């Protein structure tokens, strides 16, 4: 090997043998970021460009310069890698921008509306200022609880059936149909509830229970899926150990399998509730909108939080500012409820799931 050095690279003492390809120092990208920020500030403050334009321009400049420098020093392949890295990072930032601005909008617009009378009064006889979400809060609570009461037993039992008993044509059909149900547009669920109830109660039917039925159609597949996945995680050794002790299958499921998976199942149920509690479309169809408190889910229109937001936006009353402010206030309350449910779900799965490692 050493006897025949490659002729293309003469090994004169001037050149040291290159064992690795040249690489940009680690500080270069950061220096470029700093440069881009400085240029951006200058453009914004001195030339007077708008924020959006400045940021887009500086970002483009940063990527182009970085890729050019890298291509010059490190070669095409490394430059492509740097381009890909910047694009992927950009995608991530792009995805988080809407979340950040949305939460900021909800909090900053909603906070001024929140006070005790907003939470404690309905919209009865309110035209301009005042009014609140009391009726909508109760409506959401009633409709969602009824939906949960129907979906949790059915979803849980179906999940158990699919994992523990189901093998055959019926199980395959149910798996398939649960997939179909997951894809049902929420408005179609509302139309279904209407089409069902219109047969019994006549045209123009509106009732809270119908909303609960519509939400159940959306919630059952979520519960089934999470139950199924959690039950599949329970190791077969546990079941076999229980059978070996002579425990019947149903007691094995109730006393061994379910307790092992319960944290995950409750997490799944909580997330399912958080999903359906924010549904507007089906409730708009079947629960309708009203300004008064209604505690009876079987009689007449029932307001819910999402529909409240929608109707305050659509018909803000006069002058419109107050309606819009109420819409944002209700949006803040709804967001807090949904985020709290998600947080609770995470905490449950974090603290109560069986630890796999010591």
Partner 1 sequence: MTSHAVEGTHRPPRSVGDRVFPALVTAAGAVILVTLAGVALFLTYEGLPALTAKAADIPGADSFAAYVWPLLYGTLLASVLALLFAVPVSIGVALFISHFAPRRLASSLGYLVDLLAAVPSIIYGLWGIFFLAPRLVPLYDWLAGHLSWIPFFAGPASVTGRTILTAGFVLGVMVLPIMTSICREIFLQTPRLHEEAALALGATRWEMIRMTVFPYGRSGIVSGAMLALGRALGETIAVATILSVSNVVSLNLISSTNPGTIAANIALKFPEASGIEVNILIATGLVLFIVTFLVNFLARAIVGRRAEFSGAN
Q: How far is the CB of 14 from partner 1 (least distance, A)?
A: 27
Query: Exactly one of 148, 234, 309, 348 binds partner 1 (CB under 8 A); which one?
Result: 309
Determine the size of the site formed for partner 1 (CB under 8 A). 97
201 touches partner 1 by CB under 8 A: no
DSSP 317-354: -SSHHHHHHHHHHHHHHHHHHHHHHHHHHHHHHHHHSP
User: By CB under 8 A, which span of 41-49, 57-65, 122-130, 153-161 interacts with partner 1?
Assistant: 153-161
Query: Exactly one of 36, 58, 106, 215 binds partner 1 (CB under 8 A); which one?
Result: 106
Binding characters for partner 1, 208-227, by CB under 8 A (x = yes): ---------x--x---x---
119 touches partner 1 by CB under 8 A: no
205 touches partner 1 by CB under 8 A: no
The answer to whether 326 and 312 are in contact (CB under 8 A) is yes
Q: How far is the CB of 13 from partner 1 (least distance, A)?
A: 28
User: By CB under 8 A, which span of 114-122, 132-140, 232-240, 330-338 interacts with partner 1?
Assistant: 330-338
Q: Is the peptide bond before 78 cis (omega within 30 degrees of 0)?
A: no
Query: Exactly one of 95, 202, 244, 351 binds partner 1 (CB under 8 A); which one?
Result: 95
User: By CB under 8 A, which span of 37-45, 119-127, 261-269, 333-341 interacts with partner 1?
Assistant: 333-341
CA distances from 232 to 27, 68, 145, 258 (A): 48, 51, 28, 11
User: For the chain, what's the residue count?
Assistant: 358
Smallest CA-to-CA distance from 213 within 138, 143, 294 is with: 143
Question: E strands, 123-203, where?
Answer: none
Query: Exactly one of 23, 145, 182, 296 binds partner 1 (CB under 8 A); which one?
Result: 182
Q: What residues contact residue 86 under an 8 Å CB cut-off, 6+ apart?
A: 62, 63, 66, 67
DSSP 64-106: HHHHHHHHHHT-HHHHHHHHHHHHHHHHHHHHHHHHHHHHHHH
Instruction: Identify which of residues 38 and 343 has a Cβ nearer to partner 1 in the complex.
Output: 343
Q: Which residues ranging from 35 to 94 are in contact with partner 1 (CB under 8 A)?
A: 52, 77-78, 80-81, 83-85, 87-92, 94
349 touches partner 1 by CB under 8 A: no
Query: Exactly one of 132, 306, 323, 329 binds partner 1 (CB under 8 A); which one?
Result: 306
How many whole angstroms separate alpha carbon 320 and alpha carbon 341? 32
Q: Which residues ranging from 263 to 292 are in contact with partner 1 (CB under 8 A)?
A: 274-275, 277-281, 284-285, 288-289
Q: What residues contact residue 350 under an 8 Å CB cut-off, 6+ apart?
A: none
Binding characters for partner 1, 231-270, by CB under 8 A (x = yes): ---------------x-xxxx-xx----------------
Instruction: Identify which of residues 85 and 115 has a Cβ nearer to partner 1 in the complex.
Output: 85
H or E, element range at 145: helix 134-160
């Amino acid at each position: 090997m050493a006897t025949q050095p490659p002729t293309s690279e003469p090994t004169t003492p001037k050149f040291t043998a290159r064992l690795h390809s040249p690489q940009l120092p680690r500080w270069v990208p950061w220096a470029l970021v700093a440069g881009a920020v400085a240029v951006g500030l200058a453009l914004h403050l001195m030339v007077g460009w708008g924020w959006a334009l400045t940021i887009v321009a500086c970002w483009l400049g940063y990527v182009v310069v970085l890729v050019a420098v890298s291509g010059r020093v490190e070669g095409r392949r490394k430059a492509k890698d740097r381009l890909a890295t910047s694009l992927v990072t950009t995608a991530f930032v792009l995805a988080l921008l809407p979340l950040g601005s949305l939460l900021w909008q909800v909090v900053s617009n909603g906070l001024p509306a929140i006070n005790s009378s907003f939470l404690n009064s309905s919209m009865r006889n309110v035209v301009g200022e005042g009014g609140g979400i009391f009726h909508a809060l109760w409506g959401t609570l009633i409709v969602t609880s009824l939906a949960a009461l129907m979906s949790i037993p059915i979803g849980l039992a179906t999940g158990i059936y699919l994992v523990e008993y189901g093998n055959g044509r019926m199980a395959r059909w149910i798996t398939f149909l649960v997939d179909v149900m997951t894809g049902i547009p929420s408005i179609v669920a509302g139309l279904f509830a209407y089409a069902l109830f219109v047969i019994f109660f006549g045209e123009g039917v509106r009732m809270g229970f119908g909303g609960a039925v519509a939400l159940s159609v959306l919630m059952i597949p979520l519960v089934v899926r999470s139950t199924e996945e959690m039950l599949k995680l329970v190791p077969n050794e546990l079941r076999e150990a229980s059978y070996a002790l002579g425990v019947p299958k149903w007691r094995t499921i109730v006393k061994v399998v379910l307790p092992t998976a319960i944290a995950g199942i409750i997490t799944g149920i909580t997330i399912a509730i958080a999903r359906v509690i924010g549904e507007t479309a089906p409730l708009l169809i079947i629960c309708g909108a009203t300004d008064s408190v209604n505690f009876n889910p079987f009689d007449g229109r029932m307001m819910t939080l999402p529909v409240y937001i929608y109707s305050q936006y659509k018909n803000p009353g006069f002058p419109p500012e107050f309606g819009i402010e109420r819409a944002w206030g209700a949006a803040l309350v709804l967001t807090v409820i949904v985020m709290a449910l998600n947080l609770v779900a995470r905490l449950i799965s974090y603290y109560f799931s069986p630890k796999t490692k010591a």
